Every structure is written in C-alpha cells, then in structure tokens.
Structure 1
Amino acid sequence: MKLLSLFGSLLLVLLVSCDGSTSKTLISKNQLGQLTPKTEIKDLKTILETDSIADFDIETRFGKTEEIEIFDSKGKVSLIVEPKFKNDTLLTIDEIQILDSRYKTEEGLGIDSNFKAIYKNYKIDNIQNSINSVILNINEIGAYIVIDKKHLPSELRFDSEIKIEANQIPDEAPIKYFWLKFKNLD
C-alpha cells in the first residue's frame, strides 16, 4: 500500500511539474504554445496573459495590419505576430517571428540554436540564397529560418545566384531569424 501511495505521489509531482509551462513555449507545426491558426488576434491578451502586448491598430492600411509586438515580463520583445484577414473581418495569425529563447521545438530548436541543431533534427525542404542570408524552409514544423551569410565560407557570401547546399553551411552558424508560418486549416 505504501508503494502504491508513493507511486501516486510521484505521478502527481510529475503531472504538476508538467503543468503546461513547456507547452506554452513549444514550437510545432501550426502551433506556438497555445497559439494556432484559429487564434483570433483579439484573444492574444487572454492567451498570453503573462506577457504584455504593444498597442496596435486593428484598422488596416492598404490591406495590411500592423505587426503586433509581444513583450516578456522583463519588457523585451519575445514575439512579433503578423495578423491576417479571414472572411474580410476576422483577424487571425499569419506568422510569428520568434525572438525569445524560451520557445523551442521538442528537439530543442530555438532562436539560440545553430545550424547543426536544424540539420541533425529536421529535413530542410528548401534553401533560398539571398543577398545577405540563406533562408531554410522546414515544412515539418512550418518554419523558415534565416542564417546570415557572414557565417558561410567566403566563396558563398557574395553570390546570390549560387545554389547553396546544406553541407556547405557550417554547423556553428547561428540562427538570425526564426519564423513560424501558420497554414489555414479551413
């Protein structure tokens, strides 16, 4: 009986320690914590109750709404939400730029990761070469990640036309930008 009681206590401790704090910061396909493609912009303050949200104008200018900055408890920008229209009036989330290292995938990939963490854990579906960076598309988690070309070998830095392969990107190259793109589930 004591063994059963001890097991129950351990199970309770495990459940309490997994109270969702990691699920609130988990990056996965079509989800960032509790945010999903169906999340309405008006609900951000309720869902992200421990963060503060910059005032934003829901009115549009030329069919675009402003980006919405989400601040952590220390006043640092942790997320930038880009809204989209749905049914002409309802605003939902189009994509989120992740700036806070608390947000990670199950494999531990986050803004503070390097290329090795991407290459080791995910299939890179496409590598786009731009003037100053390479953009990695990872469909598995619905992300696109930017790496600054200053971390690439010199023969790849200045040619935006050359095809860049994953094996040409150094393992230690840090992530510059991390975006999560939400797909419409309707």
Structure 2
Amino acid sequence: MKLIPFLSVLCLVVFTSCNQSTSETRIAKNQLGLLNPKTQISELNAILERDSVAEFDLRSNLGTTKEIEIYNEQGDLSLIIEPNYQGDSLVTISEIQILDPKYKTDKGLTIESPFKMIYENYKIDNIQNSINSVILSINEIGVYLVIDKKHLPSKLRFDSEIKIEANQIPDGAPFKYFWLRFDETTP
C-alpha cells in the first residue's frame, strides 16, 4: 500500500523534470520560455542566465524603442526584445523576435518551419499583403510571421493590393521573421 504513493510522487518528479527542459524554450500565447508580459527588462539576466544579454542602459533609453539583443551560448543572436516602456521605472516586454530554432510551440513550430506547418496546425487569423512580404497573424499563439514574396507565385509578387489566401502560399515557403507579441490584457 505504501508503494503506490511513492510511485505517484516519483512519476510526478520525473514528469516535472522532463517538462522543465522544454519550458525554457516553449512558445505559447504570452509566453516565451520563462518570459511573459509581466517580466521586467531588469530581470532578463537572471531569467536568461544561460544566454548573454547585450549591454543596455534603461535610463538613457526611456521613452525609446531600443531593442535588446540576446545571444545564445554559441554567441549567435537568438532573440531581439522590444521593451514596453510604462513609466519611469517599470519596463516590460512588448514583442520578441525569435531567431533561434530551439524555441518552438507545442506543435513544433519554429523559425525554421515551412509554411505548411502553419497551414496544417493553426488557424491563420489574418494575411496582410505588403510591398515585399506577406504577414500572417496567428492569434491562438500570439505570433505573426513574415514570408518574403520571392517565395510566392509570380502573379502574387508584384501586386500589394491583391488579396492573398493561405492556399496560394507554397507549402515550403520559409519564414523571414517570427515575432511573438505580449498582450498584458490577456490572461
């Protein structure tokens, strides 16, 4: 009888420890690893202790949108954080550009995924046609992705007024940019 509670606790410990390794790289709505809308910029060094946060001075940047660069252990640019200035002392995160494929959603979406991954796993809420790119919004996970128009059929490349549908984007089209936006009003 005493063996059952012990096994339950052991399973819980194993599950939790396995889950922690992926939680540091998980992309979800209002979450990138341990970062969320309430994370203050001053906490980045402690939270991203394995990474290197580029030097920045909050006092000289208040009221500006200076980006903060995060480098991974290999020295490659991994994330670009856009601060959300809320006053003289509280600075949180507005958006994060994800450049490192180690960050992924529960369904496996990364910066290196092809468009087909979006089309098969997520609802595309909006497709914007701009001069050189197509911007896809996926509200379910709070991201927007940019695809360079050079990967689209020629009839779609040169007209920024034409409405582009998801089924017109080639399955293998890569993402040029992958942004996660934080929304403080969403729980």
Output the TM-score relative to the length of structure 1: 0.91
Partner of residue 140, structure 2: 140
Match runs of 1:97-176 below 5 Å = 97-176=97-176
- Aligned pair count reads 185
Q: Which runs of 4+ in 1 moved over 4 A?
A: 3-10
Structure 1: give runs of 5+ residues left out of the alignment. none
| Matched residue type, 1:85 | Y
Determine the C-alpha separation between the residues in 1 that align with 2:62 and 2:128. 28
- Percent pairwise identity: 63
Provide the rounded CA distance (Å) in 2 between the counterparts of 1:85 and 1:62. Answer: 7
One-letter identity of the residue aligned with 1:103: Y
Please give the per-residue CA displacement for 1:106-135, whole angstroms capped at 9, x wherever unaligned: 000110101110111111111111111100
Q: Answer yes or no: is the 8 Å Cα contact 1:57–1:65 preserved in 2.
A: no
Counterpart residue type for residue 17 of structure 1: C
Return the offset for 1:88. Answer: 4.2
In 1, Cα distance between equivalents of 2:88 and 2:113: 38
CA shift for structure 1 position 89:
3.0
Higher alpha-carbon deviation: 127-136 or 3-12? 3-12
Kindly indicate whether the alpha-carbon contact (under 8 Å) linking 1:101 and 1:111 is maintained by their aligned counterparts in 2.
yes
| Cα drift, residue 144 of structure 1 | 0.6
Equivalence for 1:75: 75
Structure 2, unmatched stretches of 5+, are none
Q: Normalising to structure 2: TM-score of the pair?
A: 0.90
The SS at the match of 1:34 is coil
* 2:111 alignment partner AA: I
SS in 1 for 2:107: coil
Please name the residue that 1:93 is paired with. Answer: 93
Summarize deviations over 1:61-113 as a string: whole Å, max 9, x none: 58214100000000001000000112443100000000000000000011010
How do 1:50-69 and structure 2 match up within 5 A?
50-60=50-60, 63-69=63-69
Are residues 1:17 and 2:18 paired? yes
